[in-house]
Structure 1
Amino acid sequence: MIPNRGPAVLEVSGANDLPASAEVVVIGGGVIGVTTALELARAGHDVCLLEKGIIAGEQSSRNWGWVRQAGRDLRELPLSSLARRRWQALAAEIGPGLGYVECGIAYVSRSPEQADRHRRWVAEATRLGIEAEIADIRSLAPGLTTDHAKALYLPGDGRAEPQAAVPLFARLAIAAGATLVQGCAAFDIERDARGVTGIRTERGTVSTRRVVLAGGAWSAPLLRRSGITLPQLKVLSSVCRTEPLTEEQAQAFTPCLSLGDLALRHRVDHGLTAANSGTVVAEIVPDSLRHMFAFLPGLRSMIPGLKLRLGRGTVEELGWLFGGAALERSLTRHRILDPTPDARALSRVLDRLAERFPALAGLDQAQAWGGMIDVTPDVIPVISEASTLPGLVIGTGFSGHGFGIGPGAGAVLASLATGAEPDVDLADFRLARFREERPQMQSWL
């Protein structure tokens, strides 16, 4: 049993033995890797997924549970629309256990400048065929005490239960013929003059000519071993769930709701998932210096809520610079990346909850957890073939958007891995953008 202080994740019974070969190997058992494996298996491909810990053990079970298009970078909207259609199809197949509900998502406009950004975003999204509006926040959240009247609102957005969703997708992938091996860390992408030849793992090597790397926060160090640079950093997300609400308390708001320093959603267990989106905690590691200039434009906008710190990761990742064995020890030591949540920030979240929703004052925290979000300089993912290593496809850097966008990303990654034409134009997500230009973050929220 792999220790996990985070939320309890639905168990997946994967394969015990490592196959000698596979047509496609997927590295990473989060939402991106699992939905990629599901798409590949259902298309008839022989696919093996490798996960160093358990399916959905890291950020895929620790996120807010939002399935949103609201306020996304405009470059992500076609992909998030595809993801919504996949969520709808999977929910129809799986049923209520997925927890998928199109309850709407609302971002309160807290200043005239933000209200203007929201109006412009609605105009752009509407032009792309997405149902979006500026709504009266009092009709969506009658229990909210606020001086603000309007919100960016998408009625078709929604929520699902992270602790159940990805494991349920994994069970579908296994039923379709995918081989999922848990507790097996991938160490190296092996190659010859033509490209990928296999994956060296802690249990042996799997021969393959096609690999999808969906390793989340672990992607950049694995790529570095193949001579590929990916500007990617980790930031801590701290989340809590509350005790169940009464029926009367549950009427305080309907959609998933962001008030800037307070983000909320209803849960199937009748509690709330609560977090603070205004604070960013980042550990200083060697990559912080290596990629400083790439991240600088985005960091300037985050400075009011940015908290930098030294920690165990600082020393541990320094060790990665002196040889591959240190990284391999980290991969097997951290079967589940399980950071300590920011207790002070979560205490403030509950205080704000009581201030904004008097009917919810005194609601107790039932559990708290931390998760590491993998972030790129422009806060959109890399979904790209690796030009210097034929056969390798990269799907990472989802920057906190991975849960909601995951089923769409899995579909296009499966296409890339098999040479098919993706349903979405992926030019904005290519890895080479970091070398060819200085990508900029779009700020709409």
Structure 2
Amino acid sequence: MSHYDFIVIGAGVIGTSVAHHLAAAGANSVLVLERGTTGAGTTSQSSGLLRTHYSVRQNVELARSSWSAFNNFAEYVGDDEASCGLVKCGYLICAPEGDKLAPLRASLAAQQEMGIEVQLMNRAEARERLPIAQFDDAALIGFEPEAGFADAYLVATSFARSARRRGVKIMEGVSVTGVIREGRRVTGVETSAGRFSCGTLVSTQNIWTPELAAWIGVPLPVKPERHTVLALECETGAYTFGMPAFKDLGSPGMLYFRSYGGSQMLVSEGVVGETLNAPETEQGEISLDYVVEVGAQVAGRFPAYETAGLASSWTGVYDVTPDWNPVLGGVGDVEGLVVGFGFSGHGFKLSPGIGRLLAQHALGQPTDVSLAPYALERFETGALLVGKYGSGAVS
């Protein structure tokens, strides 16, 4: 049975980030096990938005710690040829009069207090940034110039390449089928390729985390939830790369938008999606009724898109916890185990920072950002990380 100091389950954007940061910190015996191929699971379905705007302060800290990685990605991974596909177009967010106004005002103020560049705009200034939109109902508009979007698959594969250069072994097409334990300590894994022992196991199993819960006999509250992404095309309303990504807190679906392909609009909802009975990444059915419903909301903000065509669409699956925020760190009295799951749509945005934190925790080092708010125990104590905007991926 081969032994490794660290075994990471999952080679999505979180798992590869953990592997990169472990190796960069000097760990020289790391194995990553991936049931499919690197970055091809839920990571490949990400719409790639990057922002530091959250109503949960801890998430703002994680997003800020991740931004320097995205902004200087080649240098961060030590590879001149690496790219995260960053488009730094900025991020607009607005709310009308109503229940989202006070949370938005508080969240923007918190960002500014933390030293993040956030500008308050009037309607005319917002239209200059995003001329294809109308802001007649906007009571408050915030703009984050150091934001935009990037490519999650590129990030995952770049982290993986960096990890390999530093000696990490990544085995694709290998399914983990159980853990090996000595009392309460995890000492290895059973896999489709045999048994491997380890000093520390790091699980980044995403929507497959319930498998780990069954292996260790500890409830890990997470469920798979499917969300739909639409790419719309309009002859008179091209959404160019120079236009900011946009969050519409006034729409029923709390829609988010960004440029796609340099002219199309990518749009999706930021509210609760379709709960799945079992984890899967296969494409789900997208009904015409759904397209019409979202299209009506789009047209309310982007009038020219009343006659837009559907260029393409896909579905992605979130690993959602009860408070829509991740669990990071240890699991009760189970020794030798570190987990990162339940990212609820935030995973890509936070992946550099979270990979670094989990690596630090696995190495027994102090973490840059406290993991205490993200502890599993919060679901028992009631100290939940509930976003001020309600359930959904804006937290």
Bin for the TM-score computed over the shorter chain: 0.7 to 0.9
Give the partner amino acid of 2:265. L
Q: What is residue 107 of structure 1 aligned with on the other side? A: 93
Give the partner amino acid of 2:35. K
Question: After superposition, where does 1:246-261 map in structure 2 within 5 Å?
Answer: 249-250=238-239, 254-259=243-248, 260=251, 261=253
Give the partner amino acid of 1:67. L
How many angstroms does 1:268 deviate by? 4.9
Question: After superposition, where does 1:236-275 map in structure 2 within 5 Å?
Answer: 236-242=226-232, 249-250=238-239, 254-259=243-248, 260=251, 261=253, 262-268=255-261, 270-275=263-268
User: Which one of 353, 371, 386 corresponds to residue 408 of structure 1?
Assistant: 353
Does the 8 A contact of 1:38 with 1:173 survive in 2? yes
User: Which one of 304, 326, 338 corresponds to residue 381 of structure 1?
Assistant: 326
Gap change, CA 1:206 and 1:393, over 3 Å in 2 = same
Q: What is residue 188 of structure 2 aligned with on the other side? A: 198
Gap change, CA 1:180 and 1:232, over 3 Å in 2 = same
Following the alignment from structure 1 to structure 2, what is the Cα–Cα distance between the partners of residues 194 and 280?
Answer: 36
Question: After superposition, where does 1:335-354 map in structure 2 within 5 Å?
Answer: 337-343=281-287, 344-354=289-299
Give the partner amino acid of 1:24. F
Q: Out of 110-119 and 425-434, give the one that drifted further.
A: 110-119
Does the 8 A contact of 1:195 with 1:209 survive in 2? no
1:41 aligns with 2:23: yes
Superposed CA offset, 1:208-240 (max 9, x none): 121110011111332232011111122111113
Does the 8 A contact of 2:240 with 2:262 survive in 1? no
Superposed CA offset, 1:183-205 (max 9, x none): 11111121113612111111111
Does the 8 A contact of 2:188 with 2:197 survive in 1? yes
Q: What is residue 98 of structure 1 aligned with on the other side? A: 84
How many angstroms does 1:67 deviate by? 1.2
Give the partner amino acid of 1:126. Q
Gap change, CA 1:181 and 1:272, over 3 Å in 2 = farther
Q: What is residue 280 of structure 1 aligned with on the other side? A: 273
Does the 8 A contact of 1:143 with 1:251 survive in 2? no
Gap change, CA 1:99 and 1:362, over 3 Å in 2 = farther
Does the 8 A contact of 1:30 with 1:166 survive in 2? yes
Does the 8 A contact of 1:276 with 1:345 survive in 2? no
SS in structure 2 opposite 1:250?
coil
Gap change, CA 1:279 and 1:172, over 3 Å in 2 = same
Q: What is residue 160 of structure 1 aligned with on the other side? A: 150
Gap change, CA 1:198 and 1:33, over 3 Å in 2 = same
Question: After superposition, where does 1:110-121 map in structure 2 within 5 Å?
Answer: 110-121=96-107
Does the 8 A contact of 1:354 with 1:360 survive in 2? yes
SS in structure 1 opposite 2:328?
strand
Does the 8 A contact of 1:144 with 1:252 survive in 2? no
SS in structure 2 opposite 1:346?
helix
User: Which one of 13, 26, 40 corresponds to residue 57 of structure 1?
Assistant: 40
Q: What is residue 170 of structure 1 aligned with on the other side? A: 160
Q: Unpaired runs of 5+ in structure 2?
A: none
Give the partner amino acid of 2:273. V
Question: After superposition, where does 1:362-401 map in structure 2 within 5 Å?
Answer: 362-401=307-346
Gap change, CA 1:339 and 1:248, over 3 Å in 2 = closer
What is the aligned-residue RMSD (CA, Å)?
A: 2.6
User: Which one of 125, 130, 135 corresponds to residue 111 of structure 2?
Assistant: 125
Gap change, CA 1:165 and 1:249, over 3 Å in 2 = same
Gap change, CA 1:194 and 1:248, over 3 Å in 2 = closer
Following the alignment from structure 1 to structure 2, what is the Cα–Cα distance between the partners of residues 78 and 140?
Answer: 26
Q: What is residue 300 of structure 1 aligned with on the other side? A: none
How many angstroms does 1:173 deviate by? 1.9
How many angstroms does 1:36 deviate by? 0.3
Does the 8 A contact of 1:382 with 1:396 survive in 2? yes
Q: As a proportion of its length, which structure holds more strand?
A: 2
TM-score (normalizing by structure 1): 0.78
Q: Unpaired runs of 5+ in structure 1?
A: 1-18, 284-312, 318-329
1:233 aligns with 2:223: yes
User: Which one of 391, 396, 419 corresponds to residue 364 of structure 2?
Assistant: 419
User: Which one of 1, 8, 20 corresponds to residue 2 of structure 2?
Assistant: 20
SS in structure 2 opposite 1:143?
coil
Following the alignment from structure 1 to structure 2, what is the Cα–Cα distance between the partners of residues 91 and 148?
Answer: 41
Give the partner amino acid of 1:59. T
SS in structure 1 opposite 2:274?
strand
Q: Out of 341-350 and 386-395, give the one that drifted further.
A: 341-350
